[in-house]
Amino acid sequence: MSEFQKMRNFVFFLDDGFTMQAFSSAVEVLRLVRKLRPDAGYNYSVVALSDRPVAASNGLQLIPDARIEAVPPRAVVVAVSGAHANQAKAPGFVARLRDWARRGHPVWGISSGVVRLAQAGLLDGRRVAAHWEDVQYLRQTHDQVQVSAALFASDGRVATCAGGGAATDMMLWVIARDLGAQVADDIAARLVIDAVRDGRTSQRRVSDMRFETANGPVYAALGVMRANLFTPLSIAQVADSQGISQRQLERLFVQEFNRTPSRVYTELRLEDARLDVLSARRSLTEIAMDYGYSPATFARNYQKIFGVLPSDDRRESGAAMS
């Protein structure tokens, strides 16, 4: 069993204004694994900078049940913060994260806890997952951090998660690696989750991360494309919706993204379709037809964008959980 697989003691470090959903999404998985496999030795606790209740972003307060000075050796410290993290510094919180990392603790971040890890200098040179609302901040102020659009990512002793429901996916992935896919599936069933998403699945707003622009016509054209993913318009129709010629739209897209509008449109549609492919809830033929492709054309374009056939991508997704 690897060192990673022995990590069964989780200490959630809550920042003021932390995101309750991300926290509870992770904790509920651990609660259920303790119920189903009490012999597995999973434990979790909550700490904060003080013993006082910590207010979440929704106004509810949580009372820490452990002392910050008594974090057990080898425990995984999971930083949980909220949307304010990219606007206000928290030197005490960040200093604690650095100290735990120096002492050899794996230090993880979920939701805007990822921002706090970056502020602590713990993400430089690492590939991380971050909530799409934090991406611009990370790219502008922490350019050594390799921000991805994934739901979650693991890089050495650091794991990061976009937050929200993705915290459930990350913890289920941990359980599957440690105790097997069947235990993870049993927990997912109790949480009424149809399919466990692996870390390669992109966030729904992934295109907003890559196709950022202040150019009015280009921004509006992207909106038209996103609104017509299933029944695509022609590029001429997209250009006409903005009152410009197709040639002008193509020139603007190449200037902004070094891609033609046709290429960007294809990427937007296939990124959306990939969520269906990886979820494994529908056949590949159904997905292809929904997006206006024949199965063969869908597979060819999918491989061109992602470097893998949809059938292989789905198979690898299943293998990642075994």
158-197 pLDDT, tens digit per residue, is 999 988 888 999 999 999 989 998 999 999 999 988 666 6
Contact 45, 65 (CB under 8 A): yes
Nearest Cα neighbor of 97 from 64, 167, 49, 130 is 49
Report pLDDT for 229: 85
CB within 8 Å of 240: residues ≥ 6 apart: none
User: What 3 state SS string does 65-80 have?
Assistant: CCCHHHCCCCCEEEEE
Which of 94, 103, 102, 150 has the alpha carbon at shortest distance from 127? 150
- Residue 206 is predicted with a pLDDT of 52
Question: Which helix (H) or strand (E) is 150 found in, with range?
Answer: none
The structural domains of the chain, ordered by start, are: 4-190 (3.40.50.880), 211-320 (1.10.10.60)
CA distance 165 to 295: 31
pLDDT computed for residue 121 by the predictor: 96
CB atoms within 10 A of CB 101: 18
Q: DSSP letter string over 257-294?
A: HSS-HHHHHHHHHHHHHHHHHHHTSS-HHHHHHHTT--
Report pLDDT for 248.
96
According to the model, what pLDDT value does residue 5 have? Answer: 43
Record the tokens describing residue 110, joined without a space: 């979920």
Residue 209's pLDDT is 57
pLDDT in tens, 249-258: 999 999 988 9
Encode pLDDT of 212-242 as tens digits: 777 889 989 998 998 888 888 999 999 999 9
**Alpha-carbon dihedral sign for residues 20, 26, 28, 34:** negative
Residue 191, pLDDT score = 92
213 and 234 Cβ atoms separated by less than 8 Å: no
Cα distance between residue 129 and residue 127, in whole Å: 7
Which segments in the chain show pLDDT lower than 50? 1-5, 319-322
Rg (CA), the chain: 21
All residues at 6 or more sequence positions from 123 whose CB lies less than 8 Å from its CB, including other chains: 114, 117, 142, 144, 145, 158, 160
CA–CA gap between residue 238 and residue 81 (Å, rounded) = 40
Tokens (6 digits) for 199: 């870390």
CA atoms within 13 A on the CB side of 198: 18
Of 268, 57, 60, give the one whose Cα is nearest residue 164: 57
- Residue indicated by tokens 């990642």: 320
